[in-house]
Amino acid sequence: MDKTTIIEEINRYAQENLVHTFDPGKTYIPPAAPQLEASDVKTLSEVLLQFWYTEYKYCRKFEKELERVTGKPHVSLVNSGSSASLVAITAAVRIFDPGHTKKYILTCATGFPTTVSPIIQNGYIPIYVDMNDDLTPNLFSIASAIDFYDSALVGAVFAHTLGFPFDEKKIRELLGPDRFLVSDCCDALGATTSNLPVGSFSDFSTLSFFPSHHIMAAEGGAVMSNTDEHASLVSSISNWGRSCFCRPGESNTCGKRFTWEDRGDLPEGWDHKYIFSEVGYNLKMTEFQGALGYSQIQRLDKFVDARKENYQYLYGELNRSEYHPHIHLIEPSSSFSPFGFPILVTSDVFTAGDLIAWLEGHKVGTRRLFAGNLVRQPGFMNQRYAIVGDLYGSDMLMNQMFWISVSPSLNRSMLNYMIYMIDQFFISRGLV
Ligand SMILES: Cc1ncc(COP(=O)(O)O)c(C=O)c1O
C-alpha cells in the first residue's frame, strides 16, 4: 500500500468514528471538550509517515500562524502552557533583574497555579492582588502595590482568566518601562485588549494548547516575545540552555561551530552545539503537537465564533430577573473569547456547591475557578507571599463561582439541556 492510500484510509476511519451522539441525561457534557476532526487525524498520520518526530516543518508552520494571529514578531513553541509560563517568567527576570537584587513579582490570587509557580521557582515572592467579579485583576490594588513595593518589584504576571481580558495597556502604564509584564493568554486566544490581540502590551505572553483550550495540540504551549534578543533567550531556556540556535537536524547554521567566541572558560575550538549560555530545560514541542496545532489553527475563527455564540445563547436564556437574586452572570463583550461560562452564586438559600452537585448529578460538567484563592491551596499557603488588602474578592470567587462549557463541540440540544437543568434546579428548590 502506498503512503497516500494509507493516509486516506486513516482519514476515512476518522470520519466514520469521530461521531458524537448526545442522549440528554445520559451523555456527560464535559466543562471543556476538544474539537477533533478527521482532517486533524489525517495531518497527524502524515507526520507519522514522515519518520521525523522532533520539531520540524509543521512546528515552523504553526509558529508562523501564531505570529499572524497574536500579532507578535516572535513565537517559540513549548510542550505546555505551564512550560510557557516557566520560560516567560524565567526570561523576564533574567532580563529585568540580572543580578537578582529585587524581590517581588505582582500577580493575582485567583487563577491557575502554574501562572504563579515560576515566580517561586525563580526565587521571587509573589504579591497577590485581588480579582474583581468580572475576572480581571483589581487595578487599584495593582497601583498601590507598585507604589508600596517600588524598586523591590521586578514585574508582573496576570492571566486573561477564562478568556475575559484585563486592561493590559493600563497595567503596562502603571508598571512603567523598567518592570516587565507577562500576559498569560492561555485561556484567551482570540480575545482583544484596547482593540489589539491579548498579549500586545506585554514583554512576554503565553498560550496553552491543552485539549480544552481554544485550539489544541494534544499538549502544548507557546511563548510570544517582542525582540530578537528576548526570543533567543526564550529559545535557549527551553532548549537545554544552549547557545547554539540550530533547529533539530540542522548543523553549523552560524558558520562558526568550532570558532564561537563567547564560550566562557571552555577551550578553543569547543563545539558551539554544546555551549550552554543559560541555565535551562528541555521543554520543546514535538512535530506531532506542531502538526495538530497547525491543523487546528486553520479553524480558530470558527472556534472563537462558536464559543461566543454559545456564551451569548446561555447568557440570553439564563439572565432572567427571577434568577437575579441567586446568580450573577458576566455580560458578553466584543473583546472576550470565552473559555467557559462563569456563574457566580449570590443566593442566600443555596450554595455554589449545591448547584454544582445538582448539575454534575445530571451529567452537566462543571469546574471551579481553577485554584480559587491560591493562598488557600496546600501547595501555596506555606510559601512566602505578600498580599494587598484582604483578598475578599478572591475568597468570594473561590466560594461562589464555577463555570460550565461553551465549547464549540456543543450543539443546540446540549445547550438547551444545560439551561433546562439549571431551570429544574430552581424549580426543585421552589424558587420560581
Ligand atoms: C490561565 C492558565 N494558565 C496556564 C495554564 C496551564 O496550561 P497547560 O495545561 O497547557 O500547562 C492553564 C491551563 O488550563 C490556564 O488556564
Helix axes 300-318, 412-428, angle to 10 degrees: 30
Across 95-109, 243-257, 318-332, least confident range: 243-257
| Predicted pLDDT of residue 80 | 98
What angle is formed at CA 216 by the lines to CA 408 and CA 367, rounded to 5 degrees?
60
| pLDDT higher than threshold 90 for residue 1 | no
Q: How many residues does the chain have?
A: 432
Query: What is the whole-number distance in angstroms between the Cα of residue 110 and the centre of ligand 1?
Result: 13
- The pLDDT score that the predictor gives to residue 248 is 81
Atom of ligand 1 at shortest distance to CA of 208? 10
82 alpha carbon to ligand 1 midpoint, in Å? 6
Pick the closest to residue 61 from 371, 287, 327 (CA basis).
Answer: 287
Lowest mean pLDDT among 111-120, 123-132, 241-250: 241-250
Torsion of the alpha carbons at 288, 289, 293 and 295, rounded to the nearest 10: 10
Distance from the alpha carbon of residue 208 to the mean position of ligand 1, in angstroms: 6
Give me ligand 1 centre to Cα 424, in Å. Answer: 33
Q: Ligand 1 centroid vs 209 CA: distance in angstroms? A: 8
Residues 130/389, Cβ–Cβ less than 8 Å? yes
160, 213, 326, 362: which is the annotated catalytic residue? Answer: 213
| Distance, CA of 191 to chain centre | 12
Return the pLDDT at 33.
84
| 137-185 confidence digits (pLDDT tens) | 999 999 999 999 999 999 999 999 999 999 999 999 999 999 999 999 9
* DSSP assigned state of 338: -
pLDDT number for residue 239? 97
Per-residue confidence (pLDDT) for residue 41, from 0 to 100: 98
Ligand 1 atom with the smallest distance to the CA of 220 is 10
Atom of ligand 1 nearest to the CA of 80: 10
Enter the C-alpha cell of residue 15.
470520519
Contact 204, 88 (CB under 8 A): yes
pLDDT given at position 237: 98
Residue 209 alpha carbon, nearest atom of ligand 1: 10
Residue 114 Cβ contacting ligand 1 at under 6 Å: yes
The verdict on the CB of residue 225 being under 6 Å from ligand 1 is: no
With CA atoms as reference, report the closest residue to 374 among 119, 149, 168, 162: 119
* Annotated catalytic residue 328: no
CA distance to 33, 185, 189, 301, per residue, from 20 (Å): 12, 29, 25, 22
pLDDT band at 186 (very low <50, low <70, confident <90, very high): very high
Write the DSSP symbol of residue 217. -
> Cα(243)–Cα(273) distance, rounded to whole angstroms?
7
Pocket test residue of 112, 158, 166, 215 for ligand 1, highest count of atoms within 8 A of CB: 112
DSSP track, 347-387: -SSS-HHHHHHHHHHTTB--EESTTSBGGGSTTTTTS--EE
Q: With 90 as the cut, is the pLDDT of residue 431 above it?
A: yes
Q: Is 379 in contact with 329 (CB distance < 8 Å)?
A: no
- Asked if residue 115 has its Cβ within 6 Å of ligand 1, the reply is yes
Question: Residue 81 in contact with residue 210, Cβ under 8 Å?
Answer: yes
Residue type, 423: D
